[in-house]
Amino acid sequence: MKPKYLAIPYAGWLAIFVVAPIVIVVVYAFSTFDGTPTIDNFLAMGRFLPVFVRSFRLAIIATLVCIVVGYPLAYFLSREGLRTQRVLIMLIMLPMWMSFLLRTYAWMSILENTGLLNRFLGFLGLPAVRVINTQTAIVVGMVYNFLPFMILPIYSVIVKIDNSLYEAAQDLGASAAAVFRKLIFPLSLPGVLSGVTMVFVPAVSTFVISQLLGGGMHMMLGDLVEMQFLGAAYNPHMGSAIALVMMVIVIAVMYIMNKFGEGEKISARL
């Protein structure tokens, strides 16, 4: 059997579960209930602009927070001993073994007005804060649920950097800050970009977090698409158009980021 024939099962899987759903979404997006071709679904999408802006803004904030928190954790994790690394990686992945829904419900208990956070503040004699049902709570839920997807790709890249590069840079008189700026960060950029992709894409399309921690008061794109397919405003054609536009925007953003990453790697080589 020729090696190329071994790819037939994968090609069939790809066609059935990736290509076919995208084709169906495109057909629905450019048609009406009676099957008539139209672009009205896209023309009527202007009223949902605030939802698009809110979704991308919160997803970008959550992604930036994950970078700020996840990069130092990934770096220090890569500098630890092998046994310590295994233990810490297990602890990072441990929450992911539980249901996504249960983890989000747990944060409802923490952030609600009479939850653990306000009880702790009351114990310290501090005033209570209102976090639940706000955009801040949504960002907190995103960061908590998606942070491992930022840490692990960055860690997997940094841990593979040859130690001799560190030694050579130090022998040439480079400071710790210079080693990080000119060596570690450029070489770890592919991991950062992978982490950004793995965090931003699910964050911009989430609906469980916004419904539970946002109380349904801050609609996001995931909520909007769900409403078009399952809610009272049943319109799968509009839902398909929204999903298609969101997919195109995400692909464009990822393309620009990858181009930026390639530029950074070329600069690092020079």
pLDDT given at position 264: 52
Which parts of the chain have pLDDT scores under 70?
1-2, 260-270
Query: What tokens appear for 100 in the block?
Result: 């996504």
pLDDT value at residue 261? 61
At 270 the pLDDT is: 43
Determine whether 225 is exposed, middle or buried from the number of CB atoms within 10 Å of its CB (0-12, 13-18, 19+): buried
Q: Summarize pLDDT for 108-159 with one digit per residue, the tens.
A: 999 998 899 999 999 999 999 999 999 999 999 999 999 999 999 999 999 9
Is residue 161 exposed (0-12), middle (13-18) or buried (19+ Cβ within 10 Å)? Answer: middle
Phi and psi for 54 in degrees, rounded to 5? Answer: -65, -45
Question: Can you give the pLDDT at residue 265?
Answer: 52
Instruction: Report the pLDDT value the prediction gives residue 72, as an integer from 0 to 100.
Output: 94
Q: Where are the domains of the chain?
A: 48-269
Q: For position 262, what pLDDT does the model report? A: 60
So what's the pLDDT on residue 263? 52
Crossing angle (nearest 10°) for helices 135-158 and 82-93: 150
Q: Which amino acid is at 261?
A: G
| Residue 10 confidence (pLDDT) | 87
User: CB neighbours of 79 closer than 8 A, spacing ≥ 6?
Assistant: none
Structure confidence at residue 32 (pLDDT): 92
Quick one: pLDDT at residue 183? 87
DSSP 80-129: S-HHHHHHHHHHHHGGGGS-HHHHHHHHHHHHSTTSHHHHHHHHTTPPP-
Superfamily of segment(s) 48-269: MetI-like (1.10.3720.10)
- Quick one: pLDDT at residue 152? 94
- pLDDT for position 266: 46
